[in-house]
Amino acid sequence: MGKIRVVIADDHPLYREGVARSLSEDAGIDVVGQAQDALGAAELAERMTPDVVLLDVSMPHGGGLAALRQIMELPNPPKVAMLTASEEDDVVMQALKAGALGYILKGVGSRDLVAVVKDLAQGQSYVSPALAGRILNAMRSGAAAKTANPIDDLSKREEDILRLVAEGKSNKEVGLVLDLQEKTVKHYMTSILQKLHVRNRVEAAVFAREHLRK
C-alpha cells in the first residue's frame, strides 16, 4: 500500500497546520489538502480522493457534520473521522450515524493520532476512550426500545464476523480469518447493521462488546 492520503479541515490555522506537520513526519502519510470550512473540506474530499479526512465539528459554512454528510454522498467516500474539542453526546451520535468511522478528541498526542489515522485507512473504527462509555449508554437506551437482544437475530456466520469487527479487524482481515472474499464480508456487514439497528461499524463494534456472548 502507498502513502495514506489525508485531508484536514479546521478553521484554526495554527492547529490545522500543526496536525498536518505531525502527520507528515510519518513516512507512511501524505497530507494532500487542508481546508478551513465545510465547503472546502467537501471540495477537497472530492477532488483529491484522500483515504482519510479529518473534520473539526465547528467550522464555517455548516460545520463538520454538514461536510461529513456531503462527503458520504460521494461515489467512493473516504474514511472520515471527527477531530474536535466537542464532547456533546448529541454531536457524537450525529457524526457516527452520518457515517463517521472515528471520533477523536483534540488533545490526542501526535503518535496516537498517526496510529489512529493508519487504523482508519484500514477500515478500523476509533472513538476516544473518554467518550466510549457515554456512546454505549446512549445506544443501550435506544436499542432497549427496539429488541431485548438483537444479537439473537444474527446467523452464526454474522455473529462470527461481528466478533472480529469488535476486535478492530477490517473487512479484508475478517475475510482472511473466515476464508471469505472481502465483498462477501461487506454484504454480511450490511445485514448485520440492519439487524442491530445501527448505522456503522463503530456502533456495531461498541454494541457487540456489550451484548455478544463470551
Nearest to 70 by CA among 89, 90, 87, 47: 47
The CATH number of the domain where 190 resides is what?
1.10.10.10
* pLDDT beyond 90 at 199: no
Q: Are residues 159 and 189 in the same domain?
A: yes
Categorize the per-residue pLDDT at 196 as very low, low, confident or very high, splitting at 50, 70 and 90.
Answer: confident
Would 187 be classed as within a structural domain?
Answer: yes
Give the side-chain half-sphere CA count within 13 A for 141. Answer: 6
| 112 and 189, same domain (yes or no) | no
Instruction: Give the residue from 136, 122, 111, 112 showing the smallest Cα distance to 175.
Output: 122
Q: Is residue 53 part of a domain?
A: yes
CA–CA distance, 179 with 210 (Å, rounded to integer): 26
Residue-wise pLDDT tens digits, 54-72: 999 999 998 999 999 999 9
Q: Which three cell numbers stand for residue 136?
A: 454505549
The reply to whether 76 and 174 lie within a common domain is no
90 and 122 fall within a common domain: yes
In a domain, 139, yes or no: no
Question: What per-residue confidence (pLDDT) applies to 79?
Answer: 96
Q: What is the pLDDT of residue 138?
A: 66
Has residue 15 been placed in a domain? yes
Say if residue 120 is in the same domain as residue 167. no
Mean pLDDT of 139-162: 72
DSSP 3-state of 203: helix
Could you tell me if 188 and 120 lie in one domain?
no
Domains in the chain, number? 2
Looking at per-residue pLDDT, the higher value among 26 and 149 belongs to: 26
Q: Are strands 52-55 and 102-105 parallel, antiparallel or unpaired?
A: unpaired
- 63 and 155 inside one domain: no
Q: Are residues 50 and 77 in the same domain?
A: yes
How far, CA to CA in Å, does 205 sit from each of 7, 34, 81, 138, 201?
Answer: 26, 30, 16, 14, 6
pLDDT band at 30 (very low <50, low <70, confident <90, very high): very high
pLDDT of residue 142 exceeding 70, the answer is: no
- Tell me if the pTM is above 0.75: no
Averaged pLDDT score across all residues of the chain:
88
Q: How far is CA 78 from the centre of its chain?
A: 10
Mean pLDDT score, 90-110: 90
Residue 28 pLDDT more than 80?
Answer: yes
Report the pLDDT value the prediction gives residue 148, as an integer from 0 to 100: 57
Q: Please list, residue by residue across 55-89, b when 16 or more beta carbons sit within 10 angstroms of its beta carbon and e when fewer do.
A: bbbebeebbbbbbbbbbeeeeeebbbbbbbebeee
106: left (phi over 0), alpha (psi -120 to 50) or beta: beta
What distance in Å separates the CA atoms of residue 100 and residue 180, rounded to the nearest whole number? 26
Whether residue 16 lies inside any domain: the answer is yes
Residues 114 and 23 in one domain: yes
Give the structural domain span for 174: 146-211
Closest CA to 100 of 202, 208, 207, 205: 202
* Band of residue 155 on the pLDDT scale cut at 50, 70, 90: confident
Q: Please compute the mean of the pLDDT values over residues 123-136 and round it to a whole number.
A: 82
96 and 61 housed in the same domain: yes
* Final residue belonging to a domain, choices 85, 110, 134: 134
pLDDT at residue 140 in the model? 61
